[in-house]
Amino acid sequence: MIATAMFGYDGQRGWLNYFAVLPKFQKRGFGKRLLGFGERKLVEKGCPKLNLQIRTYNSVAMNFYKRVGYKEDAVVSFGKRLIED
């Protein structure tokens, strides 16, 4: 396995989770192609927008998404641990 992603659609928005490319295969276009595949599948389902979350310290991921056309939304993400790590 080189890359992985979980795309979901709740009827309102799409979500991307667990998106990753093995480090030795990064910067070869695998991530961009996998993301494009997921986006096309969501469009086929009628999904108008894809959301994802990035940890504030992950500048590498932020730069990747900016390069492929994503923009930062003006939202705040809330979470609650149900089971402690």
What CATH code is carried by the domain that includes residue 17? 3.40.630.30
- Closest alpha carbon to 53 in 8, 2, 18, 26: 18
Q: Is the pTM of this model over 0.75?
A: yes
Structure tokens at 60: 């590498």
Distances 43 to 7, 11, 20, 72, 84 between C-alpha atoms, Å: 12, 12, 21, 20, 36
Taking the mean position of all CA atoms in its chain, how far away is CA 37? 12
Taking the mean position of all CA atoms in its chain, how far away is CA 35? 7
Which residue positions in the chain have pLDDT lower than 70?
Answer: none
In a domain, 81, yes or no: no
In a domain, 55, yes or no: yes
User: How far apart, in whole angstroms, are the C-alpha atoms of residue 2 and residue 24?
Assistant: 9
In a domain, 38, yes or no: yes
The pLDDT of residue 16 is: 98
Q: Which domain holds residue 61?
A: 3-67
In a domain, 72, yes or no: no
The pLDDT of residue 85 is: 85
- What is the number of structural domains in the chain? 1
In a domain, 11, yes or no: yes
